[in-house]
Amino acid sequence: MPKHVKKADLPAKLCIACGLPFTWRRKWAKNWDEVKFCSERCRNTKPAPKQCK
């Protein structure tokens, strides 16, 4: 990412565990495509299984 980028211009994703949006962080620069969770807490909690009828 280039320097001097406004926070509003950073890419964002939705966390698969909690569903909340989170934005790009420098520590995720090398593997942004693989990031799925917004935090360690969400990564450690598994998403609820989908129930089929």
Domain ranges of the chain: 12-44
- At residue 39, what are phi and psi to the nearest 5 degrees? -155, 170
Would the pLDDT of 7 be above 60?
yes
pLDDT at site 53: 66
pLDDT at site 15: 94
Model confidence pLDDT, tens digit, residues 24-49? 999 998 999 999 999 999 999 865 66
Q: Cα separation of 20 and 10, whole Å? A: 16
Across residues 3-16, what is the average pLDDT?
86
